[in-house]
A = this chain, B = another copy of it.
């Protein structure tokens, strides 16, 4: 890895993330209506994937502080995408689950994110995409 490679890698990663953000913002009418943000969308997808989870698990999985997760969940709850229920075994934890409205919304999110990723990944062939995703998984 030469200094040029290093700079290239940093720049390309930065650009990719900014392209993703830029593509999601204006395009995602359905997401913008709801204004859940990128992290909000990821939390909803995580819940769709794994079922009800405690807040501490969510914050660990997403790599964000639990205080941030508290506010995020409150926001999602306020918009009706998520509901909480007490955990019978440990009364400190409240389980966070998708509502039917949240389930419908998360399908929109996945569809829109899918279109945007499809567009961004379009320069790569099928094999290259798989290799890219696999390499990303190892990192």
Contacts and interface: CB of A to CB of B under 8 A. Distances in A.
Interface of A: 1, 3-20, 38, 42, 45, 49, 62-63, 110, 113-114, 117-118, 120-121, 123-124, 128-129, 131-133, 135-139
Contact of A20 (B3, B13, B133): B13
Contacts of A136: 9, 12-13, 16, 132
Tell me the dominant secondary structure on chain A's binding face.
Answer: helix
B13 A114 contact: no
Contacts of A135: 124, 128, 131-132, 135
A114 B7 CA distance: 9
Copies per complex of this chain: 2
A20 to B, nearest CB: 7
Contacts of A110: 3, 6-7
A18 to B, nearest CB: 5
Given A17-B13, A17-B17, A123-B139, A113 B6 contact: yes
A121 B113 CA distance: 26
A61 B109 CA distance: 30
Given A6-B113, A114-B1, A133 B17 contact: no
A49 B4 CA distance: 9
B63 A42 contact: no
